[in-house]
Structure 1
Amino acid sequence: MKDYPNHQQPLTKSPIKRSIVGIFIILFGLGLLVISMIASILFGAAEIELTTIWQSIVSYDVSLTSHQVVYELRIPRTLAAVAVGACLSVSGAIMQGVTRNPLASPSIMGISAGAAFMIALAFAFFPGTTSLGLMLSAFIGAGLGTTTVFGLSAFSRGGLSPVKLALAGTAISAFLQSLSSAIAIHFDVARDISFWFAGGVAGTRWATLEVIIPVVTIGLIGAMVLSRSITILSLSEEVAIGLGVEINHIRILAILVVLLLTGAAVSIAGTIGFVGLVIPHITRFLVGADYRWIIPCSAILGALLLVLADIGARMINPPFETPVGTMTALIGVPFLLYLARKGGNN
């Protein structure tokens, strides 16, 4: 596999043109995101009108079922989809930049599987765990998955490489998922854990968002603060050292940001794959290799993708819902095969 991302040929090469494209994606993407969020609140088993959405926000009446559906169910669900999509896409972008691995993403590198594994342990040994407890379990699990994958790759002959990271991540993900399934069967908590394996935001409530949103905000701000250093590090270690970048410090901080974002995403929605793989590649193709544009654009496009995937999950087989993870896999699996065939090229 070739070095990454130097071999990539972005659509626009001029910094001015890339900035224009980035601004366009942010503004146009935000507009589409708002429209998709309104559509997400409108569509469902119960028919809801636009006026009902507005009234439930400005003058919430607990006695009206339609207001309860909008305010207690659909708005939290939509906000959760936005947060999870942004978290996963930004996490994937950071991982691809720091490791210079085009196949890096939370789902492939064992981070999501580690978070789900610890949530399975929480369900098995600590029934009735709160949202905060699940979030802490997800963070610990994400750290476990990351440490294991990087440790195996680092101690192998030849050290870290994109292929070794991808192989180690795939193996560790499969191992942890198997352990999670065994725990679910042995402790009879398969019903509780099945949601986390399938992936979805249907059960999100305001209490969960109140805990998660501050963490997501801190993670996204941290990603933007590190964006310039990640851009330099994504070129090569020699360039980063020559420009005075503390490589180890940046990597540690980047991993902490990824753990925050991925842990928050998994604690809300379970293991939703491929968002962190597909979106950063699309964004990089559009705006180039500058992470000051990649990170915000990835956040918006990732949020838009997951909101649309959640809408699609409700519309394919109503009144039943298709797991959102299935919807993203329909996009992500062909894209992963395409990347493997191209050797990591977009």
Structure 2
Amino acid sequence: MRRIGRRFLGVCALLLIAVVVYLLAIGAALFTLLTAPWRPRLGRYRRVLAVAVVYSSIEISGLVAAAGRRIRYLVDRDAPRDRRDRVRALDKSLRTLRTATQRFGGLDVALAADSVEGRETSPPILPPGPVIVCGRHGGVGGAFLLTHLLLTEYGRLPRVVLKQTLAWDPLIDALLSGIPHAYIDPQPGDSGATAARIGALAEGMAADDALLIFPEGGNFTPRRRMRAIRRLHRRGLALAGARAERRQHVLPPHPDGLFAALDAAPEADVVFVAHTGLDHLQTAMDVWRALPLREPVVLTWWGVPATEVPRQEEARIGWLEDNWSRIDRWVARHRVPG
């Protein structure tokens, strides 16, 4: 009943927002026709509105298609086909959204070699077999972009760990209902319930699966970084606090969920992802000021074979900290100042 109520409220809110967006779009279109000879370039207002129209259209058309899939599944109970259809729908939605952000928002993505360790390597590739992908959480849209890359360019089916608040998006909730995922709302003293949920998500991964997890737990901001460092010191974790102070561009990672996934899928390689270019996009006002984007989103990753992942907890913590420091150094090298 809670899920039904959440979806009902989410759909009502979506329809209300969509009506407002479409009315604004009609007004903007008329304004564009009248002023085209004097204002040939798309202004920021029209760029943002164009992306909003595309997103609203994706949501509405996706929900209609989801309702059709649900009715068909109730008739034939063909679970494999239903899952394939959901994956194709997720692929189509992400492709359309990325095309819109490229056209109207100036989004450009560049895969970079990892040269932070003093050596040049070829552009990143994914190792074969199941993988656990640990991403840096930096800026609005980074999680969707990484999901799109895994699904459409590398042929991997993401098993995604998401914040509980995203369940209020009716299309996300509908698309993921037949795809492995976990909504989490980590709270202090949850007795390991969040880690257990992530561990259950990692069990039984196929060769084309990729578990996507963001150990920071939220988007990086300097204020969040300082709060996280103070929390570590208050808990008496002086060494972890000192390491976090040396890293300027990432939040301290929370190891419990990742370690639960490693225990549940010991055969999976681990991939660490570093990216920059969206760091400055934290709020709707940041997005407004930044469009169109002037610099590309630069991204890289490196893999750690499953046989090289430590099994002892203390060694594993040091291994995670070392790779997180490597992400920090890479971001420092590639980010655009300001």
Q: TM-score, normalised by structure 1?
A: 0.25
Larger Rg: 2
Q: TM-score, normalised by structure 2?
A: 0.25
More helix, by proportion: 1
